[in-house]
Structure 1
Amino acid sequence: MIVEMRQYQLKPRSVPAVEELIGQGMAVRSKYSKLGGLWHTEVGTLNSVVHIWPYDSMAHREKVRAELANEKGWPPKTLEYVVEMKVDFLTAAPFSPPIEPRELGALYEIRTYTYRAGTIPEVIKRWSEKIEPRIKLSPLVGAWFSETGTLSRWVHIWAYRDFAHRESVRQDAVKQGIWPPSTAEFLIKQENMLVAPASFSPLH
């Protein structure tokens, strides 16, 4: 499985309008493939919308996009609000759960790490050894790595009830010695954003 992660940087105060337009188009878009989740930033670069679309393969994605080319109801007319678009194609780690509708909480954390070239297999190994006790504290939405574009990127999304729950989980994980995995020696860069789901997001 692959995931297409799309991030739109929007003009200030335009997130509600963009989410409304995307939501209106979902009945049409969902006939071709399902949305994984859609969020807007609460902490991080503001006025951003992030959405993930799971596909069986790149061939599946291309097939869907070809079919959508003849669809009048998609894409939504959001370009007037968009300042910048970024697209990443990501491959799921072996322990990453399937992307499916779930009620997980009101706050999600999207973390993106850039590792040294060639170290992703070892990162997956070390995460695999630690992930089971960690997901007992809060759900993992997914963990993926890049195989196109900027390589050796590691994206993981976690769900929390709220900001207080996130802080509690992070403290408990460190106190219990179960998290994080020991991959700091490979790290080059870390990025983070806290996001809230749109009303129509299958992950909410």
Structure 2
Amino acid sequence: MGADKEVIYELQTHNIKPGTHDEYLSNYEKYVEESKTRGLHREGRGAGTVGVGDQDQCLHLWKFDGGYKTIDSAKTSLEQDSAISGLLKDRNQYLRSRSNQFLLAFSFWPPVTSRQGGNIYEIRAECLKPGTRREGGNNWSRAITGRQSNKEAGGGGGAQVGRLYNVHHIWCYGSLAQRKEQRESAWRKPGWDEVVAYTVPLIEEY
């Protein structure tokens, strides 16, 4: 169900201390600019603040070309870089906690790409029951075609390092109102109700 195994995404979750939002973003912007000059063979594919849920949270999605060798090399380079290390140390004062996962993209989902406009993104994480990933993938591969008329499917992948059996689906909408309209439209299309009926029993935890 995975795509190119030499392309790996890292999803970073940063939980920020209330009242330090601006300082954190300034620090991370400097970190991104410094990273661009280091030849790390990684590319930022998305970043944003959470609007629904933990509202003191930021998410960052990095794409690595070259598999785990590239990730190992980037990790070593960043640890040995005094400027980067200084920014990381400075960032700690703004964080409550942080976590990450490495994901392999699903071949039946569209690739994560930059989009124009002030979009909102919904990232759904589901923990599947052991042994059901292929069955779930078969159902989703049939469903994605029906959800692409409005280009709302933004990407999907499964955890390779981190919490096992965890999958992520990324949806893109122009607004919350558009999200409501497009989700209601999906339910009116033949087959979507069957996909939901088949996939829900495969989920261990949301």
TM-score by length of 1: 0.85
Q: CA deviation at 1:148?
A: 2.8
Query: What's the counterpart of residue 55 of structure 2?
Result: 46
Counterpart residue identity of residue 61, structure 1: I
Distance 2:135 2:118 in 1: 31
| 4+ long deviations beyond 3 Å | 177-180
Equivalent pairs: percent with the same residue?
A: 23
| Structure 2 unaligned residues grouped into runs of 5+ | 1-6
User: What root-mean-square deviation, in Å, do the aligned CA atoms of Structure 1 and Structure 2 show?
Assistant: 1.8
CA contact (8 A) 2:109 2:156 kept: yes
Whose relative contact order is higher, 1 or 2, with alpha carbons under 8 Å and at least 6 apart? 1
CA contact (8 A) 1:138 1:169 kept: no
The structure carrying a bigger helix percent of its residues is 2
Equivalent in 170, 177, 188 of residue 164 of structure 1: 177
Q: CA deviation at 1:176?
A: 1.7
Equivalent in 102, 127, 143 of residue 114 of structure 1: 127
Distance 1:16 1:185 in 2: 42
Query: What's the counterpart of residue 205 of structure 2?
Result: 189
Residue deviations 1:108-150, cap 9 Å, x none? 1010011100111111111111111202223322101113332
Q: CA deviation at 1:67?
A: 2.0
TM-score by length of 2: 0.84
Superposed, which structure 2 residues align to 1:79-90 within 5 Å? 79-90=92-103
CA contact (8 A) 1:54 1:99 kept: no
| Structure with larger Rg | 2
Counterpart residue identity of residue 146, structure 1: A
Superposed, which structure 2 residues align to 1:52-63 within 5 Å? 52-56=61-65, 57-63=67-73
CA contact (8 A) 1:91 1:145 kept: yes
Q: How many residues align?
A: 190
Counterpart residue identity of residue 72, structure 2: E
Change (3 A) 1:74 1:179: farther
SS of match in other structure, 1:147: strand
After alignment, is 6-15 or 62-71 more displaced? 62-71
CA contact (8 A) 1:97 1:142 kept: yes
Q: CA deviation at 1:178?
A: 4.7
Equivalent in 136, 151, 154 of residue 138 of structure 1: 151
Q: CA deviation at 1:152?
A: 1.0
Query: What's the counterpart of residue 4 of structure 2?
Result: none
Distance 1:99 1:186 in 2: 25
Query: What's the counterpart of residue 20 of structure 1?
Result: 26
Change (3 A) 1:108 1:18: same
CA contact (8 A) 2:120 2:174 kept: yes
